[in-house]
Amino acid sequence: MVILISFDIDGTLEVGDPPGVLTMDMVRIVQEKGFLIGSCSDRPMSGQQAIWDQHNIPVDFVVSKQMLPDVKAKFEADVYYHIGDREDLDKKPALEAGFEFLWPHEAILMPWFLSDGDPGPAGA
């Protein structure tokens, strides 16, 4: 099962402005599990890449909001998700591009973000 996740940045990731609820450690966990991941933000692509580089997270794609259809065309996955915090800038384009959509507060509950040996909250 190949899962692709497109992350919005601002309002979605902890490094966003405003910060969102998804931590870079969560992103790292799904990347290490072999998910196809990347960002889809209105920030310039170079700025998005710089964030990933700064956190040593290798991503499969970095695109602008209009490019979700290209991500779907380029990568073969069983399911495509976009996680974002805006109805107009995230949910609408995601659904139009054939992605499943999750708000950050919904995404954070997905079992994907638990590491395989997660001992629970005390393990932090």
Interface residue with Mg ion among 8, 65, 94, 99 (CB under 5 A) is 8
- Interface stretch with Mg ion, choices 11-19, 46-54, 75-83, 94-102 (CB under 5 A): 11-19
- Interface stretch with Mg ion, choices 47-55, 57-65, 82-90, 109-117 (CB under 5 A): 82-90
By CB under 5 A, the count of residues binding Mg ion is: 4
- Interface stretch with Mg ion, choices 23-31, 58-66, 79-87, 95-103 (CB under 5 A): 79-87
Please state, in angstroms and rounded to a whole number, the distance separating the CA atoms of residues 57 and 64.
Answer: 19
Please state, in angstroms and rounded to a whole number, the distance separating the CA atoms of residues 55 and 82.
Answer: 20
Does residue 104 bind Mg ion (CB under 5 A)? no
Write out the E strands in 29-107: 36-40, 61-63, 79-83, 100-102
Interface residue with Mg ion among 22, 62, 85, 102 (CB under 5 A) is 85
* Other CB atoms within 10 Å distance of the CB of residue 89: 17
- Which residues lie near Mg ion (CB under 5 A)? 8, 10-11, 85
